[in-house]
Structure 1
């Protein structure tokens, strides 16, 4: 069990690490931003919380020794293929929605409709599946928990730093969703509806291409 000094250091390290790895652009942040504009605060936060649950699942698996099983080339290929498929499907859904909303806007029939993929539950599931199917998520947790200084802290130390990373990530999710939701009233209307769906769809394609290139190089 870590002593009080070790515990403080582990918590601080985990919180800073969780925040620092959460803010760079990625499919989860793109979807948080889109939902914050389209639906508001809680639907956006649901995406991040789903991702946090996926992160926690991998963290626990790595801490218990199961993470190494997912590092084989076959498992990396399978998880990468699932992640790539998810990104491509979502890109298609968002781009199709942008196209339909653009035509409705042009025809004067646009309304702020909530589709099934925009529900809070769907957002949570997206975040969860995106985190669980990312092979680089496993690599991240192996790097965090597998460091010599972390191994010396034992299972308790690994769980402490993992929990702190999740809390740091969740803090970013709440801060990011809040910052965008505050300006939601100014971002409402058909133009923003079309733009957010179209931009998110394009970003998903970019992330899918990066995933495909990474898999091809591995």
Structure 2
């Protein structure tokens, strides 16, 4: 069960880290403009925030946020402002980075960007208030038991032990795999196609601007 639990945790970690969003936009920008190391450090910033939230969840500190309804709207506003600010920087990158190596002379701020965004990301905090708490509680989870149509046939075939070190190790290992492989793929593509760097930087700016506007709107509605 330990091996199965570790592998399930790794798959879950990759699934959590992979979807498009502001963090992956920054990782992508850093990877194609400055190379794999910059993209990896940007990913590490987001991962470090998850480690911090994990520790705070263990201590029960994260749950305090639910007791104060105004905290989440304030976090949305702060995160929205940061995303719009980083979007402006990404636009500048898109204009100046004519090729993969052009941005390499400028110091990377990807780690600080993703770490700051993660700390003000209500979605990330919400994950640790809900799913994260479930990961830490001791017990077992029959993964296929509740799948429609095939649940009865597959029940008992994949049992995951929640609250175990194996699950948590696998979970963070999965995130680690993503922040290594994703920048590697993008930086490799950037070396082969010079025009990819400004395109990715422009797309990153668009993603950050979109999420920034969304977060500002959600924060404003939450305070009204």
TM-score range, shorter chain: 0.7 to 0.9
Aligned to 2:154: none
Aligned to 1:207: 211
- Structure 1 residue 89 corresponds to structure 2 residue 85: yes
Structure 1 unmatched ranges of 5 or more: 106-110
C-alpha change, 1:161 and 1:73, in structure 2 (3 Å) is farther
Aligned to 2:65: 70
- Structure 1 residue 195 corresponds to structure 2 residue 192: no
**After superposition, what is the alpha-carbon deviation per residue over 1:51-94, rounded to whole angstroms, capped at 9, x for unaligned?**
10001101110121111112332221222222111101111222
Distance in 2, matches of 1:158 and 1:70, equals 25
C-alpha change, 1:137 and 1:41, in structure 2 (3 Å) is same
Q: CA offset at residue 216 of structure 1?
A: 5.0
**After superposition, what is the alpha-carbon deviation per residue over 1:68-127, rounded to whole angstroms, capped at 9, x for unaligned?**
11233222122222211110111122224434x39xx7xxxxx925465xx34x111112
Contact 1:23 1:172 in 2 (8 A): yes
**After superposition, what is the alpha-carbon deviation per residue over 1:128-179, rounded to whole angstroms, capped at 9, x for unaligned?**
11111111111101222333x84235xx936654443222111111111111
Contact 1:37 1:187 in 2 (8 A): no
Larger proportion of helix: 1
Structure 2 unmatched ranges of 5 or more: 140-161
Contact 2:22 2:207 in 1 (8 A): yes
Contact 2:47 2:175 in 1 (8 A): yes
Alignment RMSD (CA, Å): 2.6
Distance in 2, matches of 1:98 and 1:46, equals 20
Q: CA offset at residue 212 of structure 1?
A: 3.0
Report runs of 4+ in structure 1 exceeding 4 Å deviation: 7-10, 113-116
| 1:57-206 map, 5 Å | 57-71=52-66, 72-99=68-95, 101=96, 112-114=102-104, 116=106, 119-120=107-108, 122-147=109-134, 150-152=136-138, 157=163, 161-188=167-194, 191-206=195-210
**SS of alignment partner, residue 32 of structure 2:** helix
Distance in 1, matches of 2:221 and 2:9, equals 30
**After superposition, what is the alpha-carbon deviation per residue over 1:172-197, rounded to whole angstroms, capped at 9, x for unaligned?**
11111111122222222xx4443333
Distance in 1, matches of 2:123 and 2:77, equals 12
Distance in 2, matches of 1:19 and 1:28, equals 14
Number of equivalences: 197
C-alpha change, 1:94 and 1:145, in structure 2 (3 Å) is closer
